[in-house]
Structure 1
C-alpha cells in the first residue's frame, strides 16, 4: 500500500480543529528526513509543544489587548540599567515572576517625571499576561473620564466596574498628578475596596503617599484610599537619568 504523506493541503483539517500549530508541526515532521529517526512519541510531543506554545502566545496577546496597556511590547528584558538609576536586576526579576500578584500585594512605583515609572508598570503588565493573569491599565485621569461617560444605572457601567474589581492587576498610572473630584475619589475608594484580597493594584506617582492628601478634598476618603493602597504594598523608588532623553539620544545615535 502506498504511504500517504501529509502536505500543506491537509492544513484545513487541523485549522478546523483549531490546532493550526500542531498541524504545521506534524506536516513539517512528515516531510523532514531529519525527523525519520524520531519515535512516534517524540513526534507527537514536539507537535503538542508547538501547539501549546502557540496557544500561550495567543492567550498572552489577547490578555495584553484587553489590558489596554499603551505599550504592549514593553518588557522587563528591555529595561535599561544605567549608572545612577535605582533599579536592581534581582528586584525586577522577582517582580517579573509575579508572586506579588499571587499574594495580592500592591505595588507603588514612585519617582520624578521621566524616570521610567510608566514603562516599568507596562513591563510588569506584560510579565503578568505572560503568566496568564488578567490586567487593566489606566491613567487615573482617563479612568475618571471613562467613568463619567456612563449613567449610574447603565449596565455597561456595572460591567466596566466589575472588570476593574476582578482583574488580577489594576494599574493606575499618573496617580493624583492633578486633583480629582470628590465623586471620582469616592468611586476610586469603592474600586479599591472591592479589590481587597481579590487582586493587586499598581500605582505610579510623582508624589509620595503623604502628599496625596493635597489632591483629595475629603480627608476621610483620602485616608481610606491611602490605607487601602499603601498598607499592603511594596515600594519601588525610582531615581536616575531622564529616560525619555536617554532613549531619544540613543535613537539619534543609532
Structure 2
C-alpha cells in the first residue's frame, strides 16, 4: 500500500538508487523475511552503488580519455618490455595519492597512450579528477587563452586535477611560450598532484626539446625526480594487428 508514495518520496529526495532497490526488493518474496534494518542496509547499499557509478561516468566524460581502456584489459603478452609487476602496482592508484608522476616512453604504436588512458580510467573509478590532453593541442589552447584573458583560469583548472595526462610530447622543440606554459603546469603540480607524460623521445632527450637550460633544469627537476618510468620497446602493435588481419584464412 505504501509502495507508490514511498517511491515518489525517494525520487523527490533524489534517492534514485534506493528507489530502484525498493522496487527490486519488493519483487522478491524472500525479501519479506528481512527485518527493517536489513532492508534499510540493502537500500543504502544500492544508493551508494548508483552514486559511485554516476560519479565515475561524470569523471570519465570530463577526462576525455583518448582510448576506452581499462587496466584489466592490458595485454602483457605483447613483446614491448612492459613490466607486469610495475604496471599492476601503478594500477592500484597509490602513486597518484602519493603525488608521484609517471613517464611512459617508447616508439610509435607500442601502446603508450592506451596505457595512460587505462590508468586514467582507473583513477576515474577511484573518484579522482582526471583530464587527458595531447600536448600540441594543449599548447595551442593555452596560446589562445593567453590572448583572450582566460590563461590564469585555464592554468588553475589544470592545477586542480588529481591526474593530468600529457600525451604525445615531442619531438618538436618548445618555443619560449611553450616552455613557460610547461613550467607553470609542472610547478603548480609539484608534490601536489600527479602527471603522466607519454613521449616517443627517451627522457634523456627531453632537456634538448625544452631548449632553455635554466627552464629545462626547473621542469625536469620537478617532473622526473619522483616519477615512475615505463620504457617500452619493440614493433608497433598496430602493425602486428594489421599483419594478422592480412593473413589468409586457413
| CA deviation after TM superposition for structure 1 residue 242, in Å | 2.1
Conserved? CA contact 1:5–1:31, under 8 Å: no
TM-score (norm 2): 0.90
Partner of 1:190: 184
Partner of 1:50: 46
Partner of 1:40: 36
| CA deviation after TM superposition for structure 1 residue 89, in Å | 3.2
| CA deviation after TM superposition for structure 1 residue 247, in Å | 4.6
Q: Distance in 1 between matches of 2:45 and 2:243?
A: 42
Partner of 2:143: 148
Partner of 1:59: 55
Partner of 2:113: 118
Pairwise CA RMSD of aligned residues?
Answer: 2.2
Q: 1:240 to 1:46 in 2, by over 3 A?
A: farther
Aligned match for 1:199, one of 184, 193, 200: 193
Q: Distance in 1 between matches of 2:137 and 2:78?
A: 34
| CA deviation after TM superposition for structure 1 residue 23, in Å | 0.5
Q: 1:131 to 1:250 in 2, by over 3 A?
A: farther
List per-residue Cα deviations over 1:168-190 (Å, max 9, x = no partner).
Answer: 11111111232221111111111
Work out whether 1:133 is the aligned partner of 2:128.
Answer: yes
Q: Distance in 2 between matches of 1:151 and 1:85?
A: 40
Q: How many residues were matched structurally?
A: 247
Range with bigger deviation, 10-19 or 112-121? 10-19
List per-residue Cα deviations over 1:8-35 (Å, max 9, x = no partner).
Answer: x864432221111110111221222132
